[in-house]
Structure 1
Amino acid sequence: MSTQVEIKVYPNKLDDSLYESCTGLVGQTVNSWLKANVPAYAELEQPLFSVNINNRHVLPCEWDTCTFKHNDNIKFIVESKDPATIAYAVIAVIAIGVAIYATNQIPDNYNSTVPDGSSIYDVNTQGNKPRLMGVIPEIAGRHLIFPDYLTMPRREYINNEQWLYLMLCVGKGEYEVLDDEVFIGNTPVTGKPNDVDYQIFGPGEDVTVHEAHRNVYTSSEVGSTAGSTGIELKGRVTNTGGLNGRYIWSFEGNKLVVHREDFEPEVGTIRYKTTPPFSVGETLKIEGSLSGQNDGYFELLNASTSGSEVNKVDGQNQDDPSWSSFVTELNSNANVLVEGGGGDGQFNGPFFACPAGEKTQKIWVDFTLPQGLGELDDEGDFLSRSVTVRIEYRDEGAQEWSFVEETYSNSTNDQLGRTLPIELPTKIRPEVRIKRVTAANDDTRIKDEIYWTSLKAELDSATSYEDMTTIAVKIRGTNALAGSAENKFNLIGTRILPVYENGAWSEPRPTTDIAPFFTHVIKSSGHSDSKIGLDEINTLHPVWHNRGDEFNAVFDSGSTMFEVLKRVLAVGFAEPTIDYGRIIPVRDQQRSVFQHMYQPDNYIGLLERTITLIDDDEHDGVEVEYFSPITWKSETILCLLPGDLGVNPEKIRAFGITNRDKAYQFGMRKRRARRYRRTSFTFKTEMDALNSRYLDYCALADDIPGYEQTGRVEYIVGRSVYVDAILKWQSGQSHILALRKPDGTLSGPYTATIGSSSNEVIIDSDIDFAPVFDGSIEPPLYMFGITNKWCNAVLIRDIKPSSVDKVNVTAELYDDRVYLDDNSLAPT
């Protein structure tokens, strides 16, 4: 009985007519067969293929125990793992590896690298602003930040000083902010400890410890903008006739008791007297009584020092039969009806304190007295004076009003401001009206004008903010700060991230390095460590760090993960690629060790070469725009090669670079690549090219006569290599021989000398692999030529499978001159 079983490998699960037949042994497990027959096989969290035996899907956890049996119908099916990538793989005895490449160009256009609507990179729009339904800013490295409003700014008077409260979002994640790097406009707040109080909260911390956390809505009807005069509260004017005074009414049954209160500045005392202020038969209009229960028109029937009898009438002096007596309200203000000879001023409002659909249990009303409060006597001294206002409120749709009365007293001609907080019994949508109770006066020596400047209501307030750093700010409204405090609060923050180095993650720390933010972008998109090229990060992180390459930028508008990764890596001369389902960084850097060999024996068709000639109209330099870490504004630097005039430079922006030398290096790399990378190659292979990755450094054979010779190795004895052709040696030249290993990588190159036969080459060291000549696999291929013409050194730029057995490859001629300014300092 045969011990072999057939294994069918399907490269395309949508076409079951295409498969490759392989052989396994009865009793072998899935994993043991893969390890024995597929050199590039690795156990992955998400395998690149599925296994089906007898129409049953075999889970990866069963691969170590599931064995092949006689007559089993065994299928290995390649699965696509990324809908944005062409997934292609073939599992077979000769399968070496799989590379998946997505073409990426380093962004070099300002409009495509700077997010639309950025508040950082456009100096005309720098400032704090709300980001309704927008993207939470993501900051990389160290950068200037104008935090966004989490709640709208609000102002409040405390001890006659106006304070501004701001609750701001620094950005997503955690940041280090130094005290001397917090500013209002260009002014550091460290020099104003009595004027600015701020507190930074990390992600998830309780923000209620700072008063600025409150989410306060400011009514636009009253005058919410900074500097608004507000609504003047006008009282009825009393002509004092030389003496300052007022009338105060109280009720006793149907009697109106009137007291006259006079103030004599010379004496400095207040005296009272009872007097009827009106004549019998006169009609009084009373308004603004407590809860409005005594409002209306009243006719004076008789007057005496003990009280005046009145009768309630309508507007046409007709008796009101429903009225019997005044309603006495038993509280501290029960007997006070109005102040002043002519009654109260008019109500202003009502205005709703919060938007429709919202409710509040706390409101604030702000008042200003722009001329101060007091009275000037004959000696020029300011005497004390008081003014009383009445605040009434009710729920939306309610009939009855509740009220608060507030009296302010002072003796100053300095501007005054007051904020009155009012706690409501329950949550309502209040409408508020206010009037001045104290009568106004036409005496120019009296300063008591009062304005209602703001109506605010507290809405539901967040107690913490997950996944973002916030800052609560309280700013005194001094002249030095008032003009820019509300929308020019800014700071310099450094992102705190873990760093993958020496094969492990470090504790989070402030960092400006490229690698930490690169890995953060991938992990924050929901991917695990298994999807990140951590080995490549471990290799490139010290290269970037030691060179001083940094990525300092602000992302404050939408983008894709891959576009962000391209911007992050561009400052380190690298690009992201996808390999075996992992996102890895690949750096364009100087090379000396070839990775793979391609020559006519593994081409399909001919090698095509394209050379771009220098055009008279092309750019003669590169102008790089970068962000200065001193001014935090854009600056430019011109990057020129010898012979460049710089009259028509290519304009690019070094997004993420905040260092002049690094901007120069970035621009010179771009300029040198434009000048010296002008030759490209295209060719096709079978499966061979899938061994290579993006930007691999490879040896490519030319088909131009007089250059290298290529072919197959027939056999090797020690250091003698016998090839399938007669080699052409050039007198006086040193020669090179390179061999292709079974996995497609290049062995050598070796220094070659002529052997005793026409097809023998003697190399200077032992080969580093075991060649196979039994026909089970392809024999080693070779390339032979003089030292400077034995191959074309190329960088792989594009690998695209075109069918199940063809791969299109684009390569670019390598030139060391591209890298000569990678460490240059910018010219002064």
Structure 2
Amino acid sequence: MSPMVHPTPLAPRAWCVIQRDPFHPSTGRELRAIHDACRLVDVVPALSVPHILLRNGKAVLRADWDQPVVDGDHLAVVCLPQGGGGGSDPLRTVLTIGLIIASQGAYVAALGASVGLTAAQAGALAFAAGSALINAVIPPPKAPSNLAAAALAAPSPTYNLQAQGNLARLDAAIPVQYGRLAGYPDLAAQPYQEFAGNEQYIYQLLCLGQGEYDIEALRIEDTPVSNFDDITYEVVPPGGTVSLFPASVVTSAEVAGAEIIGSASGTYSQAGTTLTVTLTAHALSLGRAVVLDFTTGTAPDGEYTVASAPTPDTFTVVMPAAAAATRSGNVSVTRYLGGFNAAGAGTVATAIGLDFVASRGLYVYNTSTGAVGSISVTVEIGLRPIDAAGAPAGGWVVFTETFTDSSTTPQRYSRRYDVSPGRYQVRVRRTNAKSTATTAGHELAWAGLRSYLQGSNAFGDVTLIAMRMRASNNLSGLASRKVNVIATRKLPLWDGSAWSAPQPTRNPAWALADACRNPGYGAGLADARIDLDALASLAEVWDGRGDSFDGRFDNAVSLWEALSKIAASGRARAFMQGGIVRVVRDQPQEMPVALFSPANILRGSLSIDYAVASDSTPDSVDVGYFDETQWAPQRLVVTVPGGSSARPAKLELFGVTRRDQAWREGMYHAASNARRRRTISFSTELDGLIPSLGDLIAVAHDMPAWGQSADAVTWTVASRTLVLSEPMSWGAGAHYAALRGRDGRVSGPWPVTRGADDKTLVFTLAPDITPDTGAARERSRVSFGPAQAWAQRAIVTAVRPSGDGSVQIECVNDDPSVHTAETGTFPPPVQVSQLATQYTAPQVTGLSLRSSSNDPGVALLSWQAAPGADYYLVEMSAAQTGAAWTRVGETSAANYAVAALYGAATWIRVAAYGRTRGPWVTLSFGMEADYMWSADDAAPMWSPDASSPMWR
């Protein structure tokens, strides 16, 4: 990274930080430079809330605010939090607000119950080496923490191809969708069917999800609904009412197409009050109602209840009066079908619907004329109110229907009856006899029973789609459950001062805001508890890059898991700081916010963990995403420029639907896995409260030789010369120095040259701060080194305050190539350590071969010593490829003599071995030896033997 060039400014006398909102320490502050002579009171702005003045870290009483501002003063005006009562201490709150800092291990307060999203605690950061991707800044998505709950979750009709369809997912979460997605809406109510004009119509109500949507396409499978003439639909926005049809309808499962049997003839005999009816295969049981029409005798016609069924062909009823003597005769018996309870306990119906089907049509065929005549079926429908236990709560209300037709085509009828609100039992009987002639179609079946329940047809803050579909050859019953919708969620957008009306958006920023703000399924947080300014800035970044979040939460997840998934699609992470939900994106940062060196790192606290690459370390990323062109899962393998793809690690990007975005994020994770493999941890004092999660810091320390550190002793403005407390090691090339300001920020790095001695630095440009020297205040700390080795740049991953006043910081090394890899720029890793390079896989260079003067069949090998090599391996083979290699020697020297095992056909290779083996370098003995070989034997051509070809 090239050093930043700053113009030479007019140095201010002092600085003043005004902190108007202590709950927003990183954004709610103002920095003022003081150039003119003034008093302390002149610096303090007019404020309507209590505030304090700090001078160089110490509080100043109001009685002393008339003191003059001294050159080099660092002032801070801090507004105090209000409210609390009960003896709350605002000053204590101010002093402890910095301790409420983001930490991956810190507790995240429960944010409220939800539908689809629930509050939870953020898990501790854990990153693994070996076969897993390493990215401590934006950890790759991982499996749900509650695997048992995940296993019991209803299959997703969006992401599970086997489950795609319109399902009634009982007890599942109402889906929450963000962005643009194709999905199969859930059934919001039980579908039902009716007949009209001998056509079957299916009524179904679908729930697209929570909130409002911009519907782009409504389809049956892949065909637009507009291509079907048999479908009528309406989109019901949140808070709207379904007007196309009654939505709350319950269909009885007991009615399943049983034929309504007509009257049958039998005989009877009565003795006393017991009347015994003989009817072959009557199929009646105790308590069933029958209608008896006595064709002979004086017994009264009417409805009776079966008292017993002694045999399959006889049953008894109790007559209202005893017969004077035994009497008998003929009787017509009509059996009821039902009664069936039309709906379950606790329901209130306002109408009852019945379906009837004449499966063979209704007709009578005249064999003599060949004409088809009409025939009728008459049925009696009885409705009786019942209570919650199913006991009768009133008498039967009877309706009579007659169906007449002269068609051999199956006929279907639906009837609906308005009733007083309540629960009902329904029964049906046929009142005319069924014709048994083979030339007549006279059957009638009871096909369906429905209760139209009392309700408002309003379903709250969800978007519904009501559909009325005619069953036809063009639209089967199976296809009716394949309704899918391409829609974009509408959300309010923050313009910096107010929220807009809901509008279609795919930006992750507004999905994050909605998950935090929504009181129904989100956390219900007030705007003051969300870092909206940061979200607005990120929204611009994501719009510029074309990044989106297009995801559907159709199973219950924790709020924090949902926020993590949304943020991860934009290379960001959410965290809580000071009771405020914040989001930080991993993106290029030029200036570190703080410098840490041995001067402010607690002794013995620095630790560095190296994730050393091994044979199982992933070298590429196998990215899975939900493609927006096919609306199906897709995969692609991403490799950093110049890398291989032999060991890809799987990465699932939930909410990513664009291939280019999936490729960019895969490249980012692949580069992070390759270049960010050092985890740095150290403890400091209150300086540790300066950086926050995701901030760039600089770490200078002599143990890993990350820069050289010293204190500023004297500063000469005119010559821009700084004398340090100890000498620096100067080498070839450019050198740079960075200064730590009074507020902890980093000034520089600035290009410097060697002065009169190794302690003296001459700045090419004047730094933008004046170094503190002498004993009046703490001297400025200086970090020095060649090129980029003046300090290690690192990204903060955790800040953990402790009760003893110390703060532990965890960070990971930064490398600019993590962000440039997606553009095709992937330079070598940044070298920041000034220690001698440790070569883990040393390389042999300058390999040469000649034959020995004493024995031409012996190869004399030599090469340049490889840095980091402990020894060298020498192998031979009869061919460059396809043949086995034989180990012929190991040596720690940079040369070796060995006999050629295969004569002119010998191939020799050499490799260096350090921590691991380096690459092989191969030569041909026949091509490299400095003499010629006979074509038919292995003897040298200048052999004194007369048979040698040289002498022929």
328, 332, 356: which one aligns with 1:367: 356
- 1:190-201 correspondence to structure 2 within 5 Å: 190-192=226-228, 194-201=229-236
- For 1:669, the equivalent position in structure 2 comes to 668
Q: Does 1:405 align with 2:400?
A: yes
What does the per-residue CA deviation read over 1:421-472, in whole Å, with 9 as the maximum and x for residues that have no partner?
0112x22321111122231112222112211111111223233232221121
C-alpha distance in structure 1 between counterparts of 2:690 and 2:124, whole Å: 15
- For 2:752, the equivalent position in structure 1 comes to 752
Note the C-alpha offset of 1:712. Answer: 1.6
236, 244, 247: which one aligns with 1:210: 244
- For 2:141, the equivalent position in structure 1 comes to 108
- 1:222-371 correspondence to structure 2 within 5 Å: 222-223=255-256, 230-236=257-263, 296=292, 298=294, 300=296, 310=298, 312=300, 343=332, 345-371=334-360
Note the C-alpha offset of 1:43. Answer: 4.5
- For 2:590, the equivalent position in structure 1 comes to 592
C-alpha distance in structure 2 between counterparts of 1:31 and 1:599, whole Å: 37
412, 436, 445: which one aligns with 1:442: 436
Q: Is contact 1:235-1:440 (8 Å) kept?
A: yes
- For 2:461, the equivalent position in structure 1 comes to 467
Identity of aligned residues (%): 28
- Give the secondary structure class of the aligned counterpart of 1:505: coil
- For 1:166, the equivalent position in structure 2 comes to 204
Q: Is contact 1:81-1:87 (8 Å) kept?
A: no
Note the C-alpha offset of 1:322. Answer: 7.8
C-alpha distance in structure 2 between counterparts of 1:75 and 1:138, whole Å: 38
C-alpha distance in structure 1 between counterparts of 2:455 and 2:317, whole Å: 54
C-alpha distance in structure 1 between counterparts of 2:426 and 2:318, whole Å: 33
TM-score by length of 2: 0.66
- For 2:384, the equivalent position in structure 1 comes to 394
Q: Is contact 2:212-2:238 (8 Å) kept?
A: yes
Q: Is contact 2:250-2:343 (8 Å) kept?
A: yes
- For 1:277, the equivalent position in structure 2 comes to none
Note the C-alpha offset of 1:293. Answer: 13
Note the C-alpha offset of 1:554. Answer: 0.4
- Give the secondary structure class of the aligned counterpart of 2:481: coil
- For 1:7, the equivalent position in structure 2 comes to none
- 1:35-184 correspondence to structure 2 within 5 Å: 43=79, 56-57=87-88, 78=96, 103=125, 106-109=139-142, 116-117=153-154, 118-178=156-216, 181-184=217-220
- Give the secondary structure class of the aligned counterpart of 2:50: helix
Note the C-alpha offset of 1:732. Answer: 3.7
User: What are the ranges of 5 or more consecutive residues in structure 1 without an aligned counterpart?
Assistant: 1-23, 64-73, 89-99, 224-229, 239-282, 302-309, 325-340
- For 1:553, the equivalent position in structure 2 comes to 551
Which deviates more from structure 2 when the two are superposed, residues 612-621 or residues 768-777? 768-777
Q: Is contact 1:501-1:541 (8 Å) kept?
A: no
- For 1:565, the equivalent position in structure 2 comes to 563
What does the per-residue CA deviation read over 1:165-206, in whole Å, with 9 as the maximum and x for residues that have no partner?
11222111111113xx112233320111x3111111211123
- Give the secondary structure class of the aligned counterpart of 1:393: strand
What does the per-residue CA deviation read over 1:336-394, in whole Å, with 9 as the maximum and x for residues that have no partner?
xxxxx984642111100111232322100011112222122334443222111111121
What does the per-residue CA deviation read over 1:571-598, in whole Å, with 9 as the maximum and x for residues that have no partner?
1111112233322211112233222111
Q: Is contact 2:569-2:655 (8 Å) kept?
A: yes
Note the C-alpha offset of 1:135. Answer: 1.8
Note the C-alpha offset of 1:622. Answer: 1.8
Q: Is contact 1:699-1:792 (8 Å) kept?
A: yes
Q: Is contact 1:621-1:650 (8 Å) kept?
A: yes
Q: Does 1:518 align with 2:512?
A: yes
- For 1:418, the equivalent position in structure 2 comes to 413
C-alpha distance in structure 2 between counterparts of 1:547 and 1:444, whole Å: 76
AA partner of residue 592 (structure 1): E
Note the C-alpha offset of 1:757. Answer: 5.4
- For 2:540, the equivalent position in structure 1 comes to 542
- Give the secondary structure class of the aligned counterpart of 1:662: helix
Q: Does 1:186 align with 2:215?
A: no
C-alpha distance in structure 1 between counterparts of 2:814 and 2:672, whole Å: 10
Indicate how the Cα distance of structure 1 residues 45 and 361 shifts in structure 2: closer, same or farther if over 3 A, else same: farther
Q: Does 1:31 align with 2:50?
A: yes
- Give the secondary structure class of the aligned counterpart of 1:441: coil
Q: Is contact 1:672-1:818 (8 Å) kept?
A: yes
Q: Is contact 1:736-1:750 (8 Å) kept?
A: yes
C-alpha distance in structure 1 between counterparts of 2:395 and 2:545, whole Å: 74
AA partner of residue 356 (structure 1): A
- For 2:780, the equivalent position in structure 1 comes to 780
Indicate how the Cα distance of structure 1 residues 636 and 87 shifts in structure 2: closer, same or farther if over 3 A, else same: closer
Note the C-alpha offset of 1:685. Answer: 0.7
Note the C-alpha offset of 1:787. Answer: 1.4
What does the per-residue CA deviation read over 1:679-713, in whole Å, with 9 as the maximum and x for residues that have no partner?
22221111111101112112111314866221221
Note the C-alpha offset of 1:311. Answer: 5.7
Q: Does 1:382 align with 2:401?
A: no
Q: Is contact 2:357-2:446 (8 Å) kept?
A: yes
C-alpha distance in structure 2 between counterparts of 1:776 and 1:437, whole Å: 113
Which deviates more from structure 2 when the two are superposed, residues 475-484 or residues 738-747? 475-484
Q: Is contact 1:720-1:760 (8 Å) kept?
A: no
Indicate how the Cα distance of structure 1 residues 548 and 164 shifts in structure 2: closer, same or farther if over 3 A, else same: same
C-alpha distance in structure 1 between counterparts of 2:195 and 2:48, whole Å: 79
Indicate how the Cα distance of structure 1 residues 506 and 801 shifts in structure 2: closer, same or farther if over 3 A, else same: same
- For 2:62, the equivalent position in structure 1 comes to none
Aligned Cα root-mean-square deviation (Å): 3.8
Note the C-alpha offset of 1:418. Answer: 0.9
TM-score by length of 1: 0.75
Indicate how the Cα distance of structure 1 residues 499 and 416 shifts in structure 2: closer, same or farther if over 3 A, else same: same
- For 2:579, the equivalent position in structure 1 comes to 581
- For 1:5, the equivalent position in structure 2 comes to none
Which deviates more from structure 2 when the two are superposed, residues 508-517 or residues 788-797? 788-797
- 1:630-669 correspondence to structure 2 within 5 Å: 630-641=629-640, 646-669=645-668
Note the C-alpha offset of 1:553. Answer: 0.3
Q: Does 1:221 align with 2:254?
A: yes
Note the C-alpha offset of 1:40. Answer: 6.8
C-alpha distance in structure 1 between counterparts of 2:140 and 2:570, whole Å: 13
User: What are the ranges of 5 or more consecutive residues in structure 2 without an aligned counterpart?
Assistant: 1-39, 42-46, 60-74, 109-121, 126-136, 266-276, 283-287, 305-314, 325-329, 387-391, 826-952
What does the per-residue CA deviation read over 1:535-580, in whole Å, with 9 as the maximum and x for residues that have no partner?
2223221111111100000012222222211111111111112233
Q: Is contact 2:508-2:570 (8 Å) kept?
A: yes
Indicate how the Cα distance of structure 1 residues 293 and 666 shifts in structure 2: closer, same or farther if over 3 A, else same: closer
C-alpha distance in structure 2 between counterparts of 1:149 and 1:316, whole Å: 48
